[in-house]
Amino acid sequence: PVDELTLSMNVGWNLIPALASEAVINDPEGLVMDDTLYSYDGVYSLVETLQPGRGYWVSCISAGEITIQVVGN
CA trace torsion 42, 43, 49, 50 (10° rounding): 30
- Sheet of 23-26: strand order equals 4-9, 64-70, 23-26
Dihedrals phi, psi of 9, to nearest 5 degrees: -115, 150
pLDDT in tens, 24-33: 999 999 999 9
Cα–Cα distance for residue pair 4/70, rounded to 1 Å: 6
pLDDT at 42: 87
pTM: 0.88
